[in-house]
Amino acid sequence: MPSRLGSMSFYCAASSLGIRAPSTLSQTRLRVAHYPLVLTLLAICVAFLGTSARGQQGSMKLLTNEVGWSASGGHLFWTTNAGGQWKDISPPAAPQKEITSVFFLDATTGWVLLAGSAPNLDEPRFDLASTTNAGTTWAITRVKIPNMNPDQTTLSGDGRIEFVDPLHGWMNLSVVSSANFRLGGLLATSDGGKSWDWAPDSPGVSGSVRFINLKDGWLAGGPGNQRLYVTHDSSNSWQELSMKAPPEAGRAIYPTYDQPPLFDNSSHGFLPVTFFGPEGVKSALVLFFSADGVTWKSDRVLPGLNEGSEMVPSTMADSTWIIAAVSDHTALTLTTIGAGGKVTRVRADAVPRDSAVLHLSFADGAHGWILTSRGLLSTIDGGVTWTNITPIVAQPTPAPRATLHCAAPQRMLPST
C-alpha cells in the first residue's frame, strides 16, 4: 500500500513542550543540567519522525510555476506539472543513505548531498550526486574531506550545499557539539563537487549558506539560529552581522535568522528576521532590504505575532513578501506585504488540525508551495485555494510467503 510522506510526520516544537522565550538573550543557551532532558525529547522526536534527525525533514523547492522538487529521507521527487504527478528521481545510493541537502541551480542542473554510515567508522560518509538532466541520470562522487582528524572533530551527518554556477559551490557540515555552540565547517569546490577543500576562513558554525557570486556570501545559523555572517572576499574573511529591531517591534529585540538573505536577479537583497523578547512579549517579523548587499535597513514590519522564539517562515516573490501561518488549528493564513507596505491576508481551511508551517516556496505571487508538518500544499491563486500534492512513496511489493506442506504422520506398526 502506498503511503504519503506527510502522514507519518509529527511536529515537535518547543512551543508544544511548554518552553517559552527567555527573559534575556544569554539565557537561551542550554545549561548542562538540561542535557538529559533535551536528549530525551530529541530522541522522542526522531522516533516519531521515522527518519534520522540529520536529514532535512521536508525539503522542497518550486523552481518555476510548473517545475519543482520534494525530498524526504532517501527519496527525491520531481514534478513538471506543479505537483500533479511526481517522478522518483532519487540517486541510486539514496536508499542506503539519507538525503541531507538538495540544491538545483535551474530546472536541469542539481546536486544532492547524501550521508550514511560505514563499517568500522564512527563518522558518517558523505556522497555528492550531481545531475544535468533533472535526475534522469546521476554521477555520484565520494566527498573526501582533507586533513580531517576524527579524534579531534566528529561530524554529525548533517550538511547544506549551495552552488552559484555548475562549477563553484559550498558545503557547510555540522560538527558534533553542544547546543551552546552548534559548530560547523565550510568547504568549497571549483569543479562541480568532484573535489572539496576547506574555505580559507569560516564562521565555524552550522547553518545555511548562500552565495550570489564568487565573492559575496552569507551564513545563517549557529546556536538558536542567532548568528548571521557575511563575506565579501571569497571566504577569506567573515564578519558577523547583527540586525537591530526597529521601533515597531517593541520589546521584541532578539533576532533569529531562519535563512540567509534572498536576492532577486539584481543586487537587491531581502532578509527576513524574527525578533523575540522576554516572556509574554509577542514576536515581530521584520524584512530588511539592501540595494548593494552591504548595508541593510528595515523595510517592512509585521508585529504582534506569537509569543516565544519560534521563527516565522516567509519568502519573497519578486518584491512581494509572503508569510504563512496556521491559526485556529486548521486555518492557513497567507499574508502578503507589497513594496509599498500594502498588507493582504487570505485565509483558507486547508490543513489538518494542529498542523504547522515549515517552509515556503513561491515562483510568483500566485503560484506557490507550503510544506506543513502534515504534507505539501500547492496554490495557483495566491492562497485562495490549496491542493495537497504530497508525493506518494510506493511501498515494495512483499515477497510471496513460502508454503510448507507436511504429510500426515504415519502410524508405525510393530515389527513381527
d(CA 102, CA 112): 5
Amino acid 181: pLDDT: 83
pLDDT, one tens digit per residue, over 361-411 is 999 999 999 999 999 999 999 999 999 999 988 766 665 665 545 455 544
d(CA 176, CA 256): 22
Contact yes or no for 286/298 (Cβ under 8 A): yes
Mean pLDDT of the chain, nearest integer? 82
Contact yes or no for 206/218 (Cβ under 8 A): no
Q: Tell me 259's DSSP state.
A: S
Let me know the angle formed at the C-alpha of 359 by 391 and 19, rounded to the nearest 5 degrees: 120
Amino acid 396: pLDDT: 63
Cell for 359?
517552509
Closest CA to 99 of 71, 63, 62: 71
Give bridge partners of residue 387 from the DSSP assignment.
Answer: 378
Stretches in the chain below the pLDDT threshold 70:
1-57, 94-95, 266, 308-309, 395-416
d(CA 63, CA 107): 7
Cell for 388?
495537497
Residue with cell 529521507: 73
Let me know the angle formed at the C-alpha of 260 by 149 and 197, rounded to the nearest 5 degrees: 30
Amino acid 416: pLDDT: 43
